[in-house]
Amino acid sequence: MTTPDPSQDPAAFPHGEPTIELTSAYLQHAWGKVLANLRVAGNHPAVVEHHASVGEGFVWALSAADMITDEQRNTMRERLRLARDQSMRRLEAGQ
């Protein structure tokens, strides 16, 4: 199962959008919610940063519990960074 993510810009990744396979449907759904919340974060940079921090905590917890590989952790952190940057650009553009 993969997390649907139609708003992700595949050009931001050198070989297209990476797939993150997590160990359960619940975790897969939670990962999708983390990204979705970050992408639609309110109208203030602090809200974007809050959602980015929640996402980092989610990835950190999965990593600490040995539920993801180092490659998955790095890919997930990169996706969080890109989603955060996308939200911040949207705010800067006044959208």
pLDDT of residue 18: 55
Q: Which one of 5-9, 17-21, 63-67 scores highest in mean pLDDT?
A: 63-67
Q: 0.85 cut: is pTM over it?
A: no
CA distance 80 to 64: 18
Q: What percent of the chain has pLDDT over 70?
A: 79
First-to-last C-alpha distance (Å) of the chain: 32
Residue 17: pLDDT over 90: no
Structure token pair of residue 91:
């705010």
Q: How confident is the model over 28-37, as pLDDT tens digits?
A: 999 989 998 8
Domain ranges of the chain: 44-95
Q: How confident is the model at residue 46 (pLDDT cuts 50, 70, 90)?
A: very high
| Contacts (Cβ under 8 Å, ≥6 apart) of 85 | none
